[in-house]
Amino acid sequence: MVATLLITWAASSHSIHTGVGIGRSRVQHFLYASLSNPLTTPRRKGGGWSSNQLFCTASLIVNRNNSQGKKRNPAKPVDKSKINSNVSPHRAASAVRLLRIEQGGAFADLLNADYRESAIDDEMDYIQRTLGFRTNPLDARNTRLVTDIVAGVVRWKRYLDYLIFSLYDGAKNVKDMEPLLQQILRIGVYEIVKLGMPPYAVVNENVTLARAALRAGAGNMVNGILRRVASDREKDMLPLPKVEGDDRSKARALSVKYSHPVWMIRRWMTYLGQEGAIQLMEWNNSPPSFSLRANSGRGVSRDDLVLLLKKLNVQHELSPHMTEFVRLSTGLQSVIQAGLLKEGMCAVQDEGAGLVVSVVDPQPGETIIDCCAAPGGKALFMASRLQGQGSVIAIDVNQGRLRVLEEAAKVQALEGVVNACQDDIRSFAVGASIRADKVLLDAPCSGLGVLCKKPDMRWKRTLKDLEQLILLQDELLDAASLLVKPGGILVYSTCSVDPGENKERVESFLTRHPV
């Protein structure tokens, strides 16, 4: 069997591996020609595959937002009409959402791409059940603040906790602190240290929230700690651990300074060196941007999309790499409210995901299999490139996510090209008679390449997860290779920057399938 294997490696948006470090180049391309308990008021304290046919290109996956959490906090019996107008709506919503994230019942970025009235109503209900009162409604500005604060607190929580516990000698660690109080403190410290908000307003509003939601003593504690943080910041005296000693000690200090798990840092220091690991963490902590893809399936060009964005006064820039893509740093809610997604004019999709499709290079008349397709962003983009001629067979084990794909295909006028199939690619490949011109395996992975967009992912992943995913990736890649016809192309992509999920998987595959 003669075929071409193309391996795509997803990385943080607009970054490129440049020697030791991770640079900020707008070019997004990797090319390898060959394989190479309640608290009291505290006291303050200071077939055959050829290696020369292997290519790698960068990719980035957009997370699909889910508007419903898995858990709900216990309800407090309160008068539903009760509104506490003294409490800041966005801070109350942020504190409650952060609690839900810690309990595994919410995502850090839900509001960013799900600005619907029903979603906002859900947020207000959660506030009432958790805090025992309602606040004034969240408007568009407050909603954006919730998104920014929640994502920022989740991203920087290890550093924020370090500051908090450096100034508090009651609880000794996170587990000892009252959960809601901890979130309020994190919000306040984040607003002062990272957002640079006026300290007086931050202290006053978070003290009000703590007293309303907890008790007077909690408010006093918030007042003391936040005032100390503000003072130390102004004097440039905020505590920070020294990066010194052996690799383990350095990783622990860097874990606080850049708010990442120690195991990730040690792994990145091994692969990238200390400076490379720092550059990668700096990228992960930078504000994320988003991209929109003009839907050619409905005859919408990028120029058409740009005109629509100008009418909405949404700031944007053109992608220099993908002719269908436009970049946004703000304004996604405006796009959603205007109905551009619902009407199929465009789709939220990162350029990196588009670059994967450009490697597949769908041509009219081809049969393409997308092995782990749901929720379907790449499958839909590939289908649009077929110009109504050919087929994309979208396979996934999750029926619910496939339904999302099918609905999106209708919205984007691609239902005649995309064919969804619920199955595990490993079992599908064994009995399948079909052989495709091109096969895309966008494999389940650690997501270590998209920590900028998924700030909660860094705290959910473990080294054991990575080891298990590597075994799965090998199985899926072997199965996907069975579906490629002679002379066809297999594209393997991940949204990870870990060589163990990328280059090493390719080497392992070529060892199992020698020329």
Binding-site sequence positions for S-adenosyl-L-methionine: 372-378, 396, 423, 442
What is the spatial distance between Cα 65 and Cα 63, in angstroms, rounded to a whole number?
Answer: 6
The secondary structure of 203-261 as a DSSP string is HHHHHHHHHHHT-HHHHHHHHHHHHHHHHHHHTT--------SSHHHHHHHHHHHHT--
109 with 147: CB under 8 angstroms? yes
- According to DSSP H, which parts of 60-139 are helical? 89-102, 110-113, 117-131
Q: Which two tokens stand for residue 77?
A: 């019996």
Smallest Cα–Cα separation from 500: which of 433, 446, 420, 454?
446
Cβ count within 10 A of residue 23: 15
Q: Which two tokens stand for residue 126?
A: 């959660």
Q: DSSP label at 64?
A: P
Amino acid residing at 296: S
Distances (CA, A) of 96 to 42, 132, 149, 187, 287: 23, 11, 12, 11, 22
What is the spatial distance between Cα 295 and Cα 317, in angstroms, rounded to a whole number?
Answer: 17
Distances (CA, A) of 4 to 59, 133, 493: 19, 61, 14
The widest CA-to-CA distance across the chain, in whole angstroms, is 74
What is the spatial distance between Cα 480 and Cα 513, in angstroms, rounded to a whole number?
Answer: 13
Annotated catalytic residue, options 56, 346, 445, 495: 495
Specify binding-site residues. 372-378, 396, 423, 442
What is the spatial distance between Cα 260 and Cα 157, in angstroms, rounded to a whole number?
Answer: 9
What does DSSP say about strands 418-422 and 16-18: parallel, antiparallel, or unpaired? unpaired
Burial, 235: exposed, middle or buried (Cβ in 10 Å; 0-12, 13-18, 19+)?
A: exposed
Give strand pairing partners of 169.
none
195 with 272: CB under 8 angstroms? no
Residue 56 is a catalytic residue: no
Q: Which two tokens stand for residue 457?
A: 């992912």
What does DSSP say about strands 436-442 and 484-494: parallel, antiparallel, or unpaired? parallel
Segment holding 369, helix H or strand E: strand 367-370
Cβ count within 10 A of residue 399: 10
Catalytic residues: 495
